[in-house]
Structure 1
Amino acid sequence: GVATEASDMSFAVSNPDGYEWASTLNGIFAQRRNLFRPKFHRFWRTILKFNDLARAELEAGKIDDISLGSWLSKHGFKQDFLDNYILPMGGAIWSTPEAEMMDYPARSFFQFFENHRLMHKERPKWRTVSGGSRTYVKAVSELLGDRLKLSHPVAKVGPFGDKVRVEFENGNTELFDDVILATHSDTTLNLLDEQYEDQRFLLSSARYRPNMIYLHRDPSLMPKRKAAWASWNVMKQGRPEMCLTYWMNRLQNLPKEKPLFVTLNPETPPRPDLTFATMEKAHPQFDAPAEAAVRTLKRDLGKDHIWLAGAWMGSGFHEDGLKAGLSCALSLGGRVPWTAEHVDIVTPQTTTPESGKVTIGAVSS
């Protein structure tokens, strides 16, 4: 197994004008004058109103196929609530500019909030994998042994009779009865041969957005008031990109004497002498076309012996990647030593060789 430990998922918003708050008990009134500001108390009452209304409409099935922005406008939520709560929180969760969060499908947004109890007074007790995600990657790699082929970049995946042909960048090829592509949607689109016209058309609607990421120890990219420091810190800035700083010490129980931060898309990068690494990572983007495309791709899993998996087929998180992978594996006859709940098992649309003689290729990033 893989060890886990308690974690903290507190949230904070910091504006350039000095307005700051955090979801911790001390952080709510990080600015002490907020104790006496009626506007701030109305802000918190609006959060409670939003939670109650969204949960009630979700439970009653009253949320139509509309965007988050349309739903918020329909119910008269004011800009202060949008700017200082729902849009920065959504933007932080999905690494998406706040303005684009208005296009997020409302029902999916609220379902995610409900699943993670973000609209409840009693929040879940969060846990993190001890040692980070590389711990479970290492465990899976060891389990696969020599079946796992590292440093074998794939150039193209195409049909070959009733098989699937995988062409590697070194010029070698292999044939499989079925192939699972556990890659980003845009990577999958580039890998699939043009003959997979239907899949490619749908994949073009499932977009990814690049984000610049800095690993550093520069506290200037955290809220000005230490009382407002949280695990997730939205740092408002003068450009549309979402600027978010993760306080890794709090998230992963690291010694706080040596501060460690991860910041996405800062307008002003951290000081070079306080920066450990810079990288670019891409995150899936969600809107109505993407949601419709993913829904169809899930329905058509196994078409032409092509199976798709990845976090982008859910809400973009580690558990969504696992769920999508399990859906492919179980549909192809795989077994797991536990009960897999809420995982869709589909019947392949094309016939495969008899059990025990199926060769399956899995392509991952």
Structure 2
Amino acid sequence: YDAVVIATHPDQALRLLADPTDAERTTLGAFTYSRNPTLLHTDTTLLPRSRGARASWNYLMPSCAADADRVTVSYDMNRLQRLDAPETFVVTLNGSDRVDPDSVRARMVYEHPVYTPESVSAQARLPALSGPVTAYAGAYHGWGFHEDGCR
């Protein structure tokens, strides 16, 4: 091939490179990821009780302390995807122990970028890595959303 687009997590991209440059090593190596157990379910107890208080993304934080457990995030998929369904579909990250097991439709594990001063600084250097032969793409170029993959 004459050129390649590497559209993977940066740690995976580094493992694909036979001889990474110093810039590739330091820039791509600045990103870390968190593993998030994820459930698709119909248990609405993870959403605010009041329908008026519900959002597309609903956060549950045990505390604001630095050593607190991980935040639990529940996405109201009916709202996000404009689903007109008789039941409410919810995707919850990091809350497996809070979800009624009988409501679970699917289980998956996702990895999300962890934003640190080092990784945010590395984001500014990402455009310089791409050239006429190798280009990098991925959600880590932005806020971690799929849409950020081609910045």
Do they superpose with TM above 0.5? yes
| Residue 257 (structure 1) aligns with | 86
SS in structure 2 at match of 1:319: helix
CA gap of 1:306–1:237, structure 2 versus 1, over 3 A, is same
Q: Do the aligned residues in 1 keep the contact of 2:42 with 2:89 (CA within 8 Å)?
A: yes
SS in structure 2 at match of 1:307: strand
Q: Larger % of helix: which?
A: 1
Please give the alpha-carbon distance, in whole angstroms, between the structure 2 residues aligned to 1:256 and 1:233.
20
Please give the alpha-carbon distance, in whole angstroms, between the structure 1 residues aligned to 2:135 and 2:55.
39
* CA deviation vs aligned residue, 1:65-86 (integer Å, no higher than 9, x gap): xxxxxxxxxxxxxxxxxxxxxx
Quick one: higher RCO (CA 8 Å, sep 6+), 1 or 2?
2
Q: Do the aligned residues in 2 keep the contact of 1:209 with 1:283 (CA within 8 Å)?
A: yes
Please give the alpha-carbon distance, in whole angstroms, between the structure 2 residues aligned to 1:269 and 1:192.
41
| Residue 295 (structure 1) aligns with | 124
Deviation at 1:244, TM superposition (A): 0.9
CA gap of 1:211–1:181, structure 2 versus 1, over 3 A, is same
Deviation at 1:224, TM superposition (A): 2.9
Please give the alpha-carbon distance, in whole angstroms, between the structure 2 residues aligned to 1:214 and 1:267.
7
| Residue 162 (structure 1) aligns with | none
Q: Do the aligned residues in 2 keep the contact of 1:206 with 1:294 (CA within 8 Å)?
A: no
* CA deviation vs aligned residue, 1:175-211 (integer Å, no higher than 9, x gap): x222210111121122222x21421232110222211
SS in structure 2 at match of 1:258: coil
* CA deviation vs aligned residue, 1:72-107 (integer Å, no higher than 9, x gap): xxxxxxxxxxxxxxxxxxxxxxxxxxxxxxxxxxxx
CA RMSD between the two structures: 2.0
CA gap of 1:231–1:294, structure 2 versus 1, over 3 A, is closer
Amino acid at match of 1:319: E
Query: Which residue of the other structure, out of 39, 50, 55, is the alignment partner of 1:230?
Result: 55
The 5 A counterparts of 1:140-151 are none
In the alignment, does 2:44 pair up with 1:219? yes
In the alignment, does 2:117 pair up with 1:313? no
Stretches of structure 2 that go unaligned for 5 or more consecutive residues are none
Structure-2-length-normalised TM-score: 0.84
CA gap of 1:277–1:301, structure 2 versus 1, over 3 A, is same
CA gap of 1:310–1:204, structure 2 versus 1, over 3 A, is same
SS in structure 1 at match of 2:4: strand
Amino acid at match of 2:105: F
Please give the alpha-carbon distance, in whole angstroms, between the structure 1 residues aligned to 2:46 and 2:91.
9
Please give the alpha-carbon distance, in whole angstroms, between the structure 2 residues aligned to 1:243 and 1:321.
24
| Residue 54 (structure 1) aligns with | none
Please give the alpha-carbon distance, in whole angstroms, between the structure 1 residues aligned to 2:140 and 2:3.
21
| Residue 196 (structure 1) aligns with | 20
Structure-1-length-normalised TM-score: 0.37
Stretches of structure 1 that go unaligned for 5 or more consecutive residues are 1-175, 324-365
Please give the alpha-carbon distance, in whole angstroms, between the structure 2 residues aligned to 1:222 and 1:276.
17
Please give the alpha-carbon distance, in whole angstroms, between the structure 2 residues aligned to 1:271 and 1:184.
32
Q: Percent identity?
A: 37
Q: Do the aligned residues in 2 keep the contact of 1:218 with 1:274 (CA within 8 Å)?
A: yes
